[in-house]
């Protein structure tokens, strides 16, 4: 693994390790080592280097929100009255648990957020009582996701 500029260069072994872990982050290191043909210690050493480089940002369990009753995913474009309102609006959005992502964007909206709600009524409540009440928000535009058809990470 070498880095130049701000990018990290990885070799074929690093790529194999990452592919195994992206498929299942709980896959035992020794099992990966057997498949690749190097020692478990070498895998650990490479993973430490990849973490130190910032390429790996941790591992996590993925919760299935539908099991908890969250079935309405929506994207909301937020129009702010002025660009200076952005930091305050983001701080307020951070306090809303249904907001999963927040992006500062180009185009018509100042901010694009991804929210997860139990149903349309819950979404309407979050919009009317939480998001549209934030100081600086002039209006919103909402798109409900009917079905997520692609969910992946960048290819390694």
Predicted confidence (pLDDT) per residue in 81-105, tens digit: 988 889 999 999 999 999 999 999 9
* Poorest-pLDDT segment among 1-5, 13-17, 33-37, 55-59: 1-5
Residue range 111-129, pLDDT digits in tens: 999 999 999 999 999 999 9
Over the chain, what is the mean pLDDT? 93
Regarding beta strands 7-9 and 2-4, do their DSSP bridges make them parallel or antiparallel, or are they unpaired?
antiparallel
| Tokens encoding 49 | 């280097």
Over the stretch 31-47, which tens digit does the pLDDT of each residue have? 999 999 999 999 999 99
What distance in Å separates the CA atoms of residue 64 and residue 149, rounded to the nearest whole number?
15
The percentage of the chain sitting over the pLDDT mark of 90, rounded to a whole number, equals 83
User: What is the C-alpha to C-alpha distance for residues 136 and 78, in angstroms, rounded to an integer?
Assistant: 10
CATH of domain 65-145: 3.30.70.920
User: From CA 118, how far away is CA 69, in angstroms rounded?
Assistant: 6
CA 35 → CA 16, 29, 40, 45, 58, distances in Å? 9, 10, 11, 17, 22
Confidence of residue 8 (pLDDT cuts 50, 70, 90): confident
As to burial, measured by CB atoms within 10 angstroms (0-12 exposed, 13-18 middle, 19+ buried), residue 140 is middle
Report whether pLDDT(2) > 70: no
Model confidence band, residue 58 (pLDDT cutoffs 50, 70, 90): confident
- pLDDT tens for 71-82 read 999 999 999 998
pLDDT given for residue 7 in this prediction? 81
Start-to-end CA distance of the chain, whole Å, equals 14
Instruction: Please name the CATH architecture into which domain 7-53 falls.
Output: Orthogonal Bundle (1.10)
Q: Comparing C-alpha atoms, which of 122, 70, 66 is closest to residue 131?
A: 122
Domain locations in the chain as residue ranges? 7-53, 65-145
């Amino acid at each position: 693994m070498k880095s130049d500029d701000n990018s990290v260069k990885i070799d074929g072994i690093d790529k194999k390790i990452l592919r195994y872990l992206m498929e299942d982050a709980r896959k035992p290191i020794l099992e990966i080592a057997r498949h690749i043909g190097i020692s478990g210690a070498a895998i650990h050493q490479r993973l430490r280097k990849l973490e130190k480089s910032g390429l790996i940002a941790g591992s996590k369990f993925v919760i299935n929100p539908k099991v908890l009753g969250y079935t309405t995913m929506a994207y909301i474009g937020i129009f702010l009255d002025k660009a200076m309102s952005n930091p305050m609006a983001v701080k307020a959005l951070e306090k809303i648990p249904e907001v999963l992502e927040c992006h500062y964007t180009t185009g018509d909206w100042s901010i694009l957020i991804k929210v997860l709600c139990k149903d349309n009524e819950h979404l309407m409540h979050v919009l009317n009582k939480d998001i549209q009440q934030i100081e600086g928000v002039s209006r919103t535009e909402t798109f409900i996701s009917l079905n997520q058809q692609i969910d992946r990470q960048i290819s390694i």
